Amino acid sequence: MALYLKYRPLTFSDLTGQEFIKKTLKTAISEDKTVGAYIFTGPRGTGKTSTARIFAKAINCENPIDGDPCGVCETCVAFGNNSLIDIIEIDAASHTGVDNIREIIEKAQFQPTHTKYKIYIIDEVHMLSKGAFNALLKILEEPPAHIKFILATTDIHKVPDTILSRCQRYDFKNFSEADIKERLSYIASKEGIVVDEASYHYVAESSEGAMRNAVSLFEQLIVGGTISYEYIKETLGILSKQEQQEFLQKLLHKDISALSDFEGYKNEGKNLKNFIKTIIQLLQTDSIEELKKGNDISRNIDMLDILHTGLQQSKHSFDESLTLKIALLKILNTVDYLGERHEEKVAGKIPLVVTQIDKQAETKNTPEITQSKENLVEAAKDIFGNNQEVNNAKISSPKSHISSGSGFDIEGLIVEMKKKGAKAAASMSLRGSHVSLEGDVLSVQTKTQIAEQTLKKTDNQEFIFQAATEMGIPLSRIQILN
């Protein structure tokens, strides 16, 4: 039997996480204050169905203990044997017709045979047809006293308000890594499986908060009674977080050594598809962060597009690694190509949704301040401090880019640099660095050697000088540090 089924919790005490929900439902049982209809909503694998089953059992249990089903009374035992006909589980995904609900209503008129209540658990209730919802609504409007409904759904927005308003609602959250680890350790101890700490972390992280995924993955990783991260790394081609980040940075900076790294992973027999999937995940996270900051993410989007397409194509490819390598080549080859396309997008030649995002990002980052020179100097003082350099700064253009936050306006500088023809590599290196202005010295603390090398190039330095002058900040020196 699959571990997930074997260790399906049978009592609230046995159920991991969802503390508030457990407590509330247990109290309702203890105080005998249950209502006619409940709806449990939340992502997959968060314990909705397990909770519904435990709750239904507890409602009908002859001697509930502190809100938990006793597990030994006739009802509890019958439920355990699946021989209890008064708790009816329906999967709406396969019983969507109105007839099924009619059947329920017809049967609902009869008293339960052995227990206090007839309880209907309707899983994935949002899948019901419109007619079925109407039939369900009729019975919810005037529910017989001996009937209770527990509805569960992953998609609450598809459940009509008329239904929702007649249910007590509980929102299930994704399990935390700690919750998942707790459950897995419990299973491991019961099964006598030796598991190292890194494996717990890996499984908890990979399962994205869904217990079912976690337990299934956990089971797949057992080899000879143990789960070892070394083995996982070998078979699933997992690299350390740092290695993954380094690889991503190489792609972002078009560092060709990414190709030999990839070749190395292939020779080591790593799972290349999983590796690319991980890179896609990292890139998505990075994109969201950049978008929040209002930065241009068109290169990220292009990279995501290329990697995703490569991954799709590799499914049908006679040589998976070659297909993925071609995707990497496309990314590494896109220096000028992407730069050019980006300009076209902004100019409106390629009407993509991306353009909208680009424009928003640009606008957000480069508020055009068209106030008088005096106001601008005041604003600059606020940002750079009230020093002599700023007071004497020559404001050459009414469209100077002053950031709304504190610190140096990197985005403004980048916009000016692009106008002068600077390449994307310079912009990206600046974005990844900490830039500050001390007097008339621009200090750039880079985070990678690649960024340092890029910014130390004479032509890029010249772009920075010119762009800063355009912004009314004549520099005497640029300091590139790593």
Q: Judged by CB, which is closer to Zn ion: 78, or 301? A: 78
Q: Judged by CB, which is closer to Zn ion: 70, or 329? A: 70
Q: Judged by CB, which is closer to Zn ion: 46, or 60? A: 60
CA-derived radius of gyration, the chain = 30
Q: Judged by CB, which is closer to Zn ion: 70, or 282? A: 70
CB of 57 to Zn ion, least distance (A): 7
Residues 72-101 binding Zn ion (CB under 5 A) are: 73, 76
217 contacts 418 by C-beta, under 8 angstroms: no
- The one segment of 69-77, 87-95, 168-176, 418-426 that binds Zn ion by CB under 5 A: 69-77
Residues 447-466 binding Zn ion (CB under 5 A) are: none
Q: Judged by CB, which is closer to Zn ion: 67, or 69? A: 69
Q: Judged by CB, which is closer to Zn ion: 47, or 67? A: 67
48: Cβ–Cβ under 8 A, 6 or more apart, which residues? 40, 41, 42, 123, 152, 172
Considering the rule CB under 5 A, would residue 61 count as an interface residue with Zn ion? yes
- The one segment of 36-44, 53-61, 359-367, 437-445 that binds Zn ion by CB under 5 A: 53-61
CB of 60 to Zn ion, least distance (A): 8
- Number of residues engaging Zn ion in binding (CB under 5 A): 5
CB of 50 to Zn ion, least distance (A): 17
Give the span between the Cα atoms of 304 and 300, in whole angstroms.
6
- The one segment of 61-69, 98-106, 139-147, 472-480 that binds Zn ion by CB under 5 A: 61-69
- The one segment of 54-62, 200-208, 317-325, 345-353 that binds Zn ion by CB under 5 A: 54-62
CB of 15 to Zn ion, least distance (A): 16
Identify the helix (H) or strand (E) that includes residue 364: helix 353-365
Q: Judged by CB, which is closer to Zn ion: 115, or 429? A: 115
CB of 122 to Zn ion, least distance (A): 23
CB of 7 to Zn ion, least distance (A): 20
Sign of the Cα torsion 246, 247, 248, 252 reads positive
Give the span between the Cα atoms of 462 and 465, in whole angstroms.
5
Q: Judged by CB, which is closer to Zn ion: 115, or 448? A: 115
Furthest C-alpha separation in the chain: 91
Residues 250-309 binding Zn ion (CB under 5 A) are: none
Residues 361-380 binding Zn ion (CB under 5 A) are: none
Give the span between the Cα atoms of 404 and 417, in whole angstroms.
19
Q: Beta strands of 23-177 (E only): which ranges?
A: 37-41, 87-91, 118-123, 147-153, 168-171
- The one segment of 55-63, 242-250, 309-317, 468-476 that binds Zn ion by CB under 5 A: 55-63
C-alpha distances (whole Å) from 195 to each of 186, 191, 225, 234, 270 are: 11, 11, 9, 16, 22
- The one segment of 64-72, 289-297, 342-350, 438-446 that binds Zn ion by CB under 5 A: 64-72
380 contacts 390 by C-beta, under 8 angstroms: yes
Q: Judged by CB, which is closer to Zn ion: 50, or 314? A: 50
Give the span between the Cα atoms of 102 and 124, in whole angstroms.
18
CB of 77 to Zn ion, least distance (A): 8
Residues 307-346 binding Zn ion (CB under 5 A) are: none
- Own/partner contacts of 442-447, CB < 8 Å, gap of 24 or more, are 442/408, 442/468, 442/475, 442/477, 442/478, 442/479, 443/479, 443/481, 444/478, 444/479, 444/480, 444/481, 445/481, 445/482, 446/480, 446/481, 446/482, 447/482
Q: Judged by CB, which is closer to Zn ion: 73, or 338? A: 73
Residues 142-201 binding Zn ion (CB under 5 A) are: none
- DSSP structure class, residue 93: T
**Residues that bind Zn ion in the complex, under the rule CB under 5 A:** 61, 69-70, 73, 76
